Chain A
Amino acid sequence: MAETFACSFAATELDARSGISLVVERLRNFNLPKEQVDDVQIALSEAINNVVEHAYPGQTAGNVSIRCNLSPQELCIRICDAGPPLPDGKLPEGHPRDVNGPIESLPEGGFGWFLIRSLTNQLHYERHNGSNLLSLCFEISPPDKT
């Protein structure tokens, strides 16, 4: 049986936090293993932080909407915003950051797409009718026996 749920919030840091927490809460209620929910929360937060940071520059924050489809095998989360398209209209490659240099030159950001790519099984982006549609899909491991 598949479950679908959705939410929508303004693209600000605090509203994003509430939106992410809401989705995470729902996933916990479906008894997904904790580690899996953690992975989803990391990838989802990075994706939404990108929207908050880049999608509505210098204007009143627009909306971000999230729709989740959960089947026994897979969770797919679609994030929709009406901001400008991703650079070059495609998903960034998300290379790991180099952490081998001296402390002073360690990166303080730019980890987002790498984390998203590391934690999702499938990632899809399209621009449709002036909106960005980003889908993050995760394979579902069997639920906790406890």
Chain B
Amino acid sequence: MSLTSTKADGAQIVTVNAARIDAAMAIQFKEDMRSETESGPDRVILDLSSVQFIDSSGLGAIVAAMKQLGGGRRLDLAGPTPMVEKVFRLTRMDTIFNLYGSLNEAVSANNT
């Protein structure tokens, strides 16, 4: 799983450099998220704009990634493709996460 991490405006941005977060990828994703976010800002933005496909294992791994951040920290999602957004909507996980149309939107939401 390829994740890269940067910081902007007091938030940590983790970018998923993969086209799929599926069953074959989910455990690795969760572990990589753990090591990327072990310490750092309270707000983590997950940039999903490269992800063309997610299944329920991938969705579960994102939920797990939020849980393992622990109290007071939060995971926001940026740039979901229509397919990814649909899986969040159908499972009602769109009511749990803040979803932003783009990374820029997510980062600027930090300042308000």
Interface residues of A (CB under 8 A from B): 13-14, 16-17, 35, 38-39, 41-42, 45-46, 49, 52-53, 96-97, 99, 103-104, 106-112, 114-115, 118-119
Question: Once bound together, how far apart are the Cα atoms of A29 and B86, in whole Å?
Answer: 23
A-B pair count, CB < 8 Å, reads 74
Q: Is the C-beta of B87 less than 8 angstroms from some C-beta in chain A?
A: yes
How far is B85's CA from A38's CA once the two chains are assembled, in angstroms? Answer: 11
Question: Which residues of B lie under 8 Å from residue A97 when comparing CB positions?
Answer: 91-92
Interface residues in B1-32 by Cβ distance below 8 A to A read 20, 22-24
A96 and B22 contact, CB distance less than 8 A: no
Query: Who on chain A is nearest to B27 by CB?
Result: A13
A46 touches B55 (CB 8 A): yes
Given A38-B86, A99-B96, A17-B22 contact (CB < 8 Å)? yes
B24 contacts A111, C-beta separation under 8 Å: no
Taking residues whose C-beta sits less than 8 angstroms from the other chain, chain B's interface range is 20 to 34
Shortest Cβ distance from B81 into A: residue: A38
Inter-chain CA distance A104–B20, complex, in Å, is: 25
Q: Please give me the residue from chain A that is nearest to B61 by CB atom.
A: A108
Which residues of B69-112 are within 8 A (CB) of A?
82-83, 86-87, 90-93, 95-96
Is there an interface contact between B67 and A106, defined as CB atoms closer than 8 Å? yes
Given the complex of chains A and B, what is the CA–CA distance between A110 and B24 in angstroms? 17
In whole angstroms, how far apart are the Cα atoms of A106 and B22 in the complex?
Answer: 19
The answer to whether residues A111 and B67 also contact, given A42-B86, A45-B22 and a CB cut-off of 8 A, is: no
Q: Is the CB of B96 within 8 A of A106?
A: yes
- The CA-CA distance from A117 to B53 in the complex, in Å, is 19
Q: Please, which residue of chain A has its CB at the minimum distance from the CB of B56?
A: A111
Complex: chain A residue closest to B30, CB-CB: A108
| Cβ B53 vs Cβ A107 within 8 A | no
Q: Counting CB contacts under 8 A, is B64 at the interface?
A: yes
Contact of A99 among B67, B82, B87, B91 (CB under 8 A): B91
The 3 closest A-B pairs by CB, nearest first: A108-B60, A13-B24, A111-B56
Name the contact of A106 in the complex, choosing from B55, B57, B63, B90 (C-beta under 8 A).
B63
**Interchain nearest-CB distance for B82 vs A (Å):** 7
A49 touches B95 (CB 8 A): no
Asked if A99 meets B60 with Cβ closer than 8 Å, knowing A16-B23, A42-B86, A104-B67, the reply is no
